[in-house]
Amino acid sequence: MDKKQVYPIAALFAICAVLVIGISWWVGSDAPATDTSATNRVTETTLTPEALPEYEETMHNKNNPVAVLETTAGTIEIELYEDAMPITAGNFKKLVNEGFYDGIKFHRVIDGFMIQGGDPNTKESDKSVWGQGGPGYNLKAEFNSRSHLRGIVSMARASDPDSAGSQFFIVTSDSTFLDKQYTVFAEVVEGLEIADKIVNLPRDGNDCPKEEAKMLRITTSD
């Protein structure tokens, strides 16, 4: 092979490497995180779905339960996709009925992206442990074809796809790069402007809101 052929090929490899590194950094910096200790956490239960569903364009089902999130910023209502995601939606409803989420804060907000909450550690004053808590068990992922558009509610997780537990995030701006990597299990049907209010709160260097954004109480329609 002569030198005229070598140089263009080497340059092409260099350009590809730069693109790959850039894309990896961008996705990693924005992807919703949860429970950074999940790989070290003892899993009490692992639930397995019978099948991963494919979705119609419209998800709303009048028979699905609605969860009402009463927060310090206002009320958000979400439809739980219990018909299509029985494990994840059912687990969320179970935790709600146990009062698990009452008093928990939204500990991570990123303007133009999402708000994240559901960590019981946020009831403690030590912020160094925020984002690392859960219910004491993990859920089997129920990845599906539902896209992470504005208003979608999805489960946060660590690097292990089956590490979701109680932490979730509400998408405030379309984030389709998360599709089929996080389990979509609900959608905001009322009060999306409240999520907008929370996502626009001033935040510190760890994306933690400087003003408290707390879930006072969550209830379900059934």
Q: DSSP characters for 144-171?
A: -S----TTEEEE-B-SSTT-BSS-EEEE
Q: Where does the pLDDT of residue 50 fall: very low under 50, low under 70, confident under 90, or very high at 90 and above? A: very low
Contact 215, 102 (CB under 8 A): yes
Helix, strand, or coil (residue 134): coil
Q: What is the mean pLDDT of residues 80-93?
A: 96
The residues, ordered by sequence, that sit 6+ positions from 151 with a Cβ below 8 Å of its Cβ are 170, 171, 187, 188, 192
| Residue 27 pLDDT exceeds 90 | no
For residue 25, the one-letter residue type is: W
- Using CA atoms, how far apart are residues 154 and 32, in angstroms rounded to an integer? 10
Helix or strand holding residue 3 (H, E): helix 3-30
The domain spans of the chain are 1-30, 33-220
Question: Residue 77 is inside which H or E element, if any?
Answer: strand 74-80
Residue 40 has pLDDT above 70, yes or no: no
What is the CB neighbour count within 10 angstroms for residue 46? 10
Separation of CA 143 from chain center: 12
CATH code of domain 33-220? 2.40.100.10
Worst-scoring range by mean pLDDT, 29-33, 186-190, 192-196? 29-33
Per-residue pLDDT tens digits for 151-185 = 999 999 999 999 999 999 999 999 999 999 999 99
User: Measured between alpha carbons, how far is 171 from 44 in angstroms, rounded to an integer?
Assistant: 29
Q: Cα 37 from chain centroid?
A: 16
99 exposure class (CB count in 10 Å sphere: 0-12, 13-18, 19+): exposed
Query: Which of 25-29, 52-56, 154-158, 191-195 is predicted least confidently?
Result: 25-29
39 pLDDT higher than 90: no
130/54: higher pLDDT? 130
Query: Stretch 43-70: mean pLDDT, rounded?
Result: 60
